[in-house]
A and B are shown apart, each in its own frame.
Chain A
Amino acid sequence: MTTTVERAPNDGHPAPWLAPAVLVLAVFYAVPVLDVARLAFSDATLIEPATGFSTQALRAILGNPALPQVLGTTVLFVAVNVLALQVAGLAIALLIVRGERRELPGMAAFRTLVLAAWVVPGIANGLIWQILFDEAPYGTLNSLLGYAGLGPVAWLSDPQMALVSAVIANLWQGTAFSMIVFYAARRGIDPTLYEVADLDGAGPVRTFRSITLPLMRRAIAVNTVLVSVQTLNTFDSILALTGGGPGRATEVLSLFTFNTVFYNLDLAGGSVLALMLFALGMALTLLIGWLNRGEARA
């Protein structure tokens, strides 16, 4: 922060440089969020403007018998995905790092395959898995299971199975993100630690528990939050896969919000739900800050 008489390379006013970004943050994020809060306490519909303050929408949403089920589904969907995505992402990252260290061929190709699933649009992801989960005898997974003498499985028509299917589809697409984060974190660990462990005769399990896991703790903590928020906000793949059904079996909070606003045209109610989404997302984000703070002191 010290400015010398000579022209320091770091001086200059940041304001003009930051103006475009700050303007965008204000117009497209800050003001809309405030407006959502205002709408939540109004009687606005998608077409009709608000006429005054009202807590009717709030009471209607909180009293909606579907809400507990939607929140339950959301928590379950997010929790299972966060666990599964990270276990898969960590396993793949460690396998690729090991493969690269041993100079095994094919590691780049495998990484490319996982990343390819990542860039598939969410809607296409839902449609592709809908085809794979087709319950007819000629459906992909059921005809494959038929060869093994198993099944058929009611992938999408059974409420509990439908949620499992939605998790599988999300896992296929989302694993790449955790893989990249964990790959970067694992590559950042000093290799000499592993050499020392090897000299000490530590086995792979011991090495994983005593070196890899502790040193990747921060990456795992931050990634947990990022993946939670991403999963919380995901709804296009579920919309295309099950539409939230059967019944409300796969209707997560973001999809419920979407349906409330754009199918029921209940803007005030949707704003209440959007506020919930926002609050959950921000609470998780604050958690990142808190986790990073702990790390800075350690």
Chain B
Amino acid sequence: MSAARWGDVATYAALALLGAFFALPFAWLISLALRTPAEVYRGAARFIPESPTLDNFATILSDPAFLIYLWNGLKLSASGGALAVALAIPAAYAASRIDFRGRQAVLVGLLAVQMISPLVILLPLYRWMNTLGLLNQHISVIAVYGALGMPLAVWLLKVAFDAIPVELEEAAAIDGASRPRILARITLPLARSGIASAFILAMVMNWSQFLIPFILLERDADWPISVAIFNFAGSVSASTTQLLAAACLIAVLPAVVIFILLQRMIVSALISGAVKG
């Protein structure tokens, strides 16, 4: 066998080891979620349950509150993601198409604010929202999601706009179209895969958010799934681990599935962003 073939074997051996580490939590979660309560106590001996059951999922999903948590999670993440992209489009367009002094400063500033922990800005925001009577309103969470998602969205959209030949816009400008019209009619449609990547990425990050809804929403019925499972975990005992596993899987699955389906698009957007940044 050649050295390269041995190298392939070593590559697979290393990836198998790393793969076991990354796959174990998912595999174990699925295994637990399919077990009966008695089998939970059998540990690794029942990695493949003898009598797999969907009862745990049925128990979780038959709870109307759980469906509301999922719906809240979807609503908050999607609205927050859409707001982030909407706020980012004009700035990204300017950064891509208009030569102005301080352009680099704006882009660096956007990168810098991403280093600020949401915890820092949430302290004053909590008080302001309280004063404005916006606590316990989804709109407050959506607004913060929009602000948190905007900087990355500007970067991703700038890269997407950069990739569109400026000649297309010049042709339209000669025909007398105004800039906003050019943006709406030519640039945005051509940049749709970049826009979609920015939106999905913002949405997935919002789905993971815990701190903001946990602090700004006090009523159980307003919570998204990320807050609800934290609360649910506080109430389970060893005899209901299988239910917690099923609840975690349901909470994790939407983000993972969307990401896997669209990962080619998102990862290439991230990679081009990483190269430019």
Contact = CB atoms under 8 A, between A and B. Distances in A.
A20 B91 contact: yes
B187 to A, nearest CB: 12
A49 B144 CA distance: 22
Given A110-B19, A127-B229, A20 B275 contact: no
A233 B44 contact: no
B233 interface: yes
Contact of A21 (B110, B170, B252): B110
A17 B14 contact: no
Given A139-B43, A180-B270, A132 B124 contact: no
Interface stretch (A57-65, A153-161, A206-214, A266-274): A266-274
Contacts of B93: 17
A215 interface: no
A144 B44 contact: yes
B66 interface: no
Given A124-B226, A257-B119, A278-B120, A98 B11 contact: yes
Contacts of A80: none
B170 A9 contact: yes
Nearest to B275: A184
In terms of DSSP, what is the predominant structure of the interface of chain B? helix
**Chain A to chain B: the 8 pairs with minimum beta-carbon distance, closest first:** A143-B43, A17-B94, A138-B43, A21-B91, A28-B147, A121-B208, A35-B124, A233-B117
A137 B42 CA distance: 9
Interface size, B (range): 35 or more
A82 B112 CA distance: 19
A35 B21 CA distance: 43
B98 A17 contact: yes
A53 interface: no
A200 interface: no
B106 interface: yes
Contact of B124 (A39, A92, A114, A239): A39
Contact of B101 (A1, A88, A111, A129): A1
Interface string B18-37: 11011111101100100000
A284 B207 CA distance: 27
Given A28-B147, A128-B29, A113 B274 contact: no
